[in-house]
Structure formats: structure tokens, C-alpha cells
Amino acid sequence: MATDARTTGEAAAPPSTTPEEAGAVEAPDERAVMREAWLTLSVVSLASIFSGMSGSALNVALPTVVRHFDASATAASWMLLAFMLANTVLMIFFGRLADMFGRRSMYLMGLATFTLASFLCGLAPNAWTVVALRVLQAAGAAMLLTNSAALVTAAFPRARLGQGMGIYLASFSVAQLLGPTVGGVLAEHAGWRWVFWFNVPVGLLCLAWGAWALPRVARSGQRQGIDIPGNLLVLVALGSGLAALSQATTLGWTSWVVIGGLVVFVLGMPTFVLFERRVTHPLVDMTLFRDRPFALGLLASFLNSTSQAGVLLLFSLYFQAVQGVDPLTAGLRVLPLAVATLIFSSSSGLFQRWISPRALAVVGNLCTGAGLSVLAWSVITEAGYVAIAAGLVLAGAGSGLFMPSNTTALMGAMPHERLGIANAMRLMLQQSGFVVGTAVVLSVLTAPLAPELRQYAFAGTLSDVSADGLADLLRGYQWTLFTMLTLNAATVLTSLAALRASRRTGGAVTPLAGPTAGR
């Protein structure tokens, strides 16, 4: 396979050289190609595990960090939301920069940025400094996430790409599996700073390994424009909406801050859509939404992320704030979620031999709904751990089935020249779902609590402070799980609509036209 084919989006033959001539001159030995591919995969997978563990570790260790700083409920929630929002907004922006300056350089810069931010987080003097540094961490993570799949795709021959991509995607499940335990151990025995500092030696190792193992490739020379106004519109609109949601339970829905934030969101998003339809190099390619199965699949991805965003965080807090266990025990108790996700995600390809990806996505959503129902019943009846673990397994299995199946359905029928922007849009909406879902979960969860008790819920010490507050928190858990179930029902209906639309079109992609088509 020719080098230019292997490094699509990264390298190209010189203008004066035809593809055939380039292939004749530079046909690498297959063994050398695979050696380079496995080296690239080792870098990407290791970095994905290390960066992914950071977020799941903080979910479990959040009460320890909150207690150290005596942080407010707002600061505690924004330690999570700031990362998600910045990561979501910056992904496509850094994807454009990678096209201009090279994926290898951008990937290594992402590793360096994430590692430096992790070190600085451990030195933070107060909670809001942690929030600011989490934004820097998110920038590094965005550089990694937008380039990881592209590096794997460029490195592997098409016949072996499924194998490489499967291992790469499994690395995120490994991160989710290890993160809660690592977070619990560090918070319990090493202190809150090491929840961030454990990233530093691993990050330096990844950086050194990546500098040696990632191949140097020539850039294509193409210069796509950067949609700075589009990025700013998304940041202002989505950020305002999230800020309003996070403050609604503290200030009340009639507060001018909450109303103003929601107004900016409601006006800003349609403005963004209108702007993107006219700009030469849009942040989001609106012509792709003309394909009905693709558009419904994207909506299902967003709704699924929204409905599942808070499961790990909810029950990490539940075990600490309601049952009064230590962070390590809480981390161990949420492991069934990650184990089930890893097993069923890895098995998704096997299931797709007998059932179509879109149908399997529906099955995954139904499985998630069953898990959320069991979790809601467990909270209402104050059932034991076995019932909660069963709910976590079902929710994890649903996530493991839905994510790879829906991604396969979205990307499988897409023309090759549209894969990059389609994948970027999928990632952006998926991450947006996690952001919105986390904001909704945190707001609904603490709504029944008196404002002065909310910080104790995030600190995991509410059971020691107020019996009445604990009862209110349990009511908040019920409200939150019913909200997640409602969102899950919407996801099931959307996935069914995508399945029916796909069957009507026979899996074909609607021809795309317009100023950005075929770009």
C-alpha cells in the first residue's frame, strides 16, 4: 500500500507526481507498514488510557478535593463542567489546526499540555484555580482526541483498520475501568494532589514514546480556514446555557443570571446554525444533516450521552454521601459499570454478525433503560449493593452496545471524503451530550437540598451533617434518575426512527450538495 494512501489527510504525493508513480516508487514492505502501525497504536492507546483515567478518577475523588478547598457546590460542579465544555468546543478547532500543522505535532503538543496542566492542578491554591486549570487540561485532551483516530486510520492498511480501531476504542473502556479505583486509592492514601499528579510521570513517558514512535509525515499543504466566529458562538451559547443550569438551583429560575443565560443559549444556537450555513469553512458541516438516518443517528448519540452522563458520578457520590464509605470503596463499587461497558463494547462487532448496527443500537438503549430503572428502584427502596451493581451492569452493557454500533452505523455509509468532518461532528455532539447531561444531573440532584447543604453533598459528608438533608438528597436522586429515564426513552425513539429511515433508504447516503459538499 502506498504511503500517500496510508497517510490520508496527513501526507500527499508532490503535485508533479501521479498517485501511480508515487505508489511505484514508495511501496513500503508490508511488515514495515504494520510495525509502524503497531507503534502508532501503542502511543495512541497508552495516551488514551492515561488521559481517560484522569476524568474517571476525579469523579470518585471529587469529594476529597471539595473537602480540601471547602469548595462551594458551584465550584465543585464546574471542576467537571469546565473540562467538558472546553473539550467539546475546542475539538474541531484543534482538528483544523492539525490539518494545517500536522497531526503528529498537534498530538505531541496535546500530551505536553495535558501533562503540564495536571502538574499545575496539583499546585492549585483554591477551587476556582482548579477550574481554570481544568480548562487547560481540556485543551490538551482536545488535541489528543481529535487526532487519535486519524493517526490510527493513517497508520493501518484498510484491511487491518478494524483490528487497530477496535483496540484503540477498547483503551477508553480500560481507562474507565482503572480510573475509579486509582482515584479512590490516591484520594484515600496519597491525598488530593496525587489525583492530578499521577498523570505527570505517565504523561512524560507517553510524550517520550510518542516523539520516538510516531512517524514524521509531510503535510498536505492544504489550508482550511478556521471558523473562529463559529467557535466563539458555540462557546458563548453553550457556556451561557450551562452556567444558567448550574446556577438555577442556587439562585432560582427567576434570577436574571439564569434567565439571561438561557436567553443567550436559545438565541445563540439558531444564530450559530444560520452562520454555519453561510461560512466558507464551517465548524459544523450542515449539509450532512440532509441525510435523515445520519441526522437521527447523531441526535441519538447526543441523547444517549445526555442520559448516561451522570451514572458514574451519581453513584460515586451516592456511596460516599449517602452510605458514608471511603473513596476507595466507592471506586471499587462502581467498577461493574466499567467492566460491563468493556465486555459488551469489545463484543459489539461479534453481535453485528447477526444484527444490524442500528438495530443493536436500539437494543443497547433498551438495556440502558433497564439499568436506570433498576438503579431508580434501588434508590427508592434503599436496596442493597447487589441491586445497585445489577443496575450498573445493565447500564454499562447498554453503553457498550450502543456506542460502537451507532458509530459504525453513522460512519459506515459515509463517503471517504466526508469521514473526517462527519466524525468530528459525531464527537462534538457526543461530548455536548455529556456536558449538558452532567449539568442537568448536578442541578436536579441538588434541587431538593437547602443551599447551605449542597456543598456537603459534593464533599460526601452530608450523612454526617443532616439527616433531613440526606432525605432530601435521596429525593434528588429519584428525580435525577427519572429525568435520565425520560431522556433514555427519547433516545430509544430516536434510534428506532433512525433504523426505520435507514431501511427506507436501503442504507444509502442522501446526495449532498451546497458550498461545503465534497470538500
pLDDT computed for residue 510 by the predictor: 47
Task: Report the range out of 60-69, 113-122, 467-476, 506-515 with the highest average pLDDT.
Answer: 113-122
Question: Average pLDDT for residues 32-45, to the nearest whole number?
Answer: 84
pLDDT computed for residue 27 by the predictor: 46
pTM of the predicted structure, to 2 decimals: 0.70
End-to-end CA distance of the chain: 24
Residues 6+ apart with CB under 8 A from 490: 303, 307
- Other Cβ atoms within 10 Å of 67 Cβ, number: 17
pLDDT computed for residue 512 by the predictor: 43
pLDDT computed for residue 363 by the predictor: 92
* Segment 123-140, tens digit of pLDDT: 999 989 999 999 999 999
pLDDT band at residue 11 under the 50/70/90 scheme: very low
How far apart, in whole angstroms, are the C-alpha atoms of residue 154 and residue 360? 28
Instruction: Return the minimum-mean-pLDDT range out of 21-35, 147-161, 318-332, 369-383.
Output: 21-35
Asked if 208 and 87 count as a contact pair (C-beta separation under 8 A), the reply is: no
Q: Considering Cα of 42, then 47, then 52, then 53, what sign does the dihedral take?
A: positive
Q: Please give the share of the chain, as a percent, with pLDDT higher than 90.
A: 15
pLDDT of 23 higher than 60 = no
Return the H-helix or E-strand segment holding 50.
Answer: helix 30-69
* Segment 66-78, tens digit of pLDDT: 888 888 877 887 8
pLDDT of 1 higher than 80 = no
- Other Cβ atoms within 10 Å of 366 Cβ, number: 18
How far apart, in whole angstroms, are the C-alpha atoms of residue 391 and residue 348? 20
* Segment 383-399, tens digit of pLDDT: 888 999 999 999 989 98
Q: Which domains does the chain have, with CATH numbers?
A: 31-215 (1.20.1250.20), 228-282 (no CATH), 285-505 (1.20.1250.20)
pLDDT computed for residue 370 by the predictor: 95
Higher pLDDT, residue 452 or 494: 494
pLDDT computed for residue 320 by the predictor: 81
The average confidence (pLDDT) of the chain is 78
